[in-house]
Amino acid sequence: MKNPAQNSVEINRLTISRGLAEAMAGTLQLETPLRGAAFRLRLPLKEGSPLGNARNGFTMLPGGRALRILVAEDTPANQLVIRMLLTRMGHQPTIVENGRLAVELLQNTGFDLVILDLQMPEMNGFEAARAIRAAEPSQQRTPLMAFSAFTQDSEKELAIKCGFDSFLNKPISLAELSAGIAALVVEKQPPATA
């Protein structure tokens, strides 16, 4: 018989697996054979279709551009999901556990976009956004995206006041995340010249 710690680890793995399946518009179902447990994973993938196009549920950036994206998120399951989503879109994510680490890393490394969870230990997303905006030169404004499970208007308004450019609700879908990223990056790019 398994101890409670082993059960907890297995439940966490199942939660993460389910989150990954749902993030890819799929399902993970428990089947109950006579012995043990079996799971059925269903994903809506087409044979031979490339991952990087709008038909697969996400918005391509102009020229298929890959971004270096810094993400601050303290929950391991959410870290896995957002890493998988960003990687599927062709981006290069760097994940840290809190806002303080994000601020420190951003001071030494350039990123095209920063995504911050609003509720984190040590330094939350609001504090991190203020610190990032205070430290950066005005001509080099890094796009900041907030994401949170708390979707009250007052929280969204505070996020914008703290320096965020956009706000996404959790759980994040592939389509919403890619559209949000595309809107921020296209906005930031200079207009094309004839």
pLDDT digits (tens, 9 = 90+) for 37-47: 777 777 666 55
Q: Which among 167, 143, 173, 170 is positioned nearest to 155, based on CA atoms?
A: 167
Q: Domains in the chain, ordered, with CATH?
A: 4-42 (no CATH), 54-188 (3.40.50.2300)
Dist. CA 24–CA 43, nearest whole Å: 7
Residue 190: predicted pLDDT: 44
Dist. CA 46–CA 56, nearest whole Å: 9
Which residue ranges of the chain lie beneath pLDDT 70? 1-14, 16, 20, 22-25, 33-36, 43-60, 62-63, 187-194
Taken in order 147, 29, 91, 105, the sign of the CA dihedral is positive
pLDDT digits (tens, 9 = 90+) for 13-39: 667 677 767 666 677 777 776 666 777
Residue 191: predicted pLDDT: 39
Q: Which residue's entry shows tokens 């089947």?
A: 31
Take residue 8 and report the two structure tokens written for it: 């907890």
Residue 9: predicted pLDDT: 55
Dist. CA 11–CA 167, nearest whole Å: 30
Residue 120: predicted pLDDT: 93
Task: Output phi, psi for 44, to 5 deg.
Answer: -85, 70
Residue 6: predicted pLDDT: 59
Residue 51: predicted pLDDT: 40
